[in-house]
Amino acid sequence: MLRSKPQPIRNKLGLIDRTQVCLVEKRLELSDTELTAIVSRIGNSLSAISNEAAMQKANSLQQPSGLPSAAVITSVTGGETTEAEAAAVAPISW
């Protein structure tokens, strides 16, 4: 009797299948430990994994190192306003 080979679920990541894991790591630019941490935290849904990887990259890009905070910049400039800022703040009278 012929039996059909069970097809993998297309929207789930099987950590047992090394080929699938390598493809997902390469596509999402993740290391093996990062992917394992994401899967253990949120599950094996490919869409959830890709969303979490995108959020991690956005968070790492959001805080550039080496730049001073806004409070430091304000204290250095002494609270001076430029003409453009003054014009933007000043109300327009007709």
Task: Dump pLDDT digits (tens) for 63-72.
Answer: 666 666 777 7
Give the chain's mean pLDDT.
80
- Domain chopping of the chain, boundaries: 10-62
Q: What integer pLDDT is reported at residue 83 of this predicted model? A: 62
Between CA 18 and CA 8, with CA 26 as vertex, the angle to 5 degrees is 40
Q: What integer pLDDT is reported at residue 10 of this predicted model? A: 82
Q: What integer pLDDT is reported at residue 65 of this predicted model? A: 64
**DSSP state for residue 5 in the 8-state scheme:** P
Q: Which residue has the higher pLDDT, 7 or 83?
A: 7
Which residue stretches of the chain are H helix?
18-28, 32-42, 46-62, 70-77, 83-89
Average pLDDT estimate for 47-62: 88
* pTM greater than 0.75 (yes/no): no
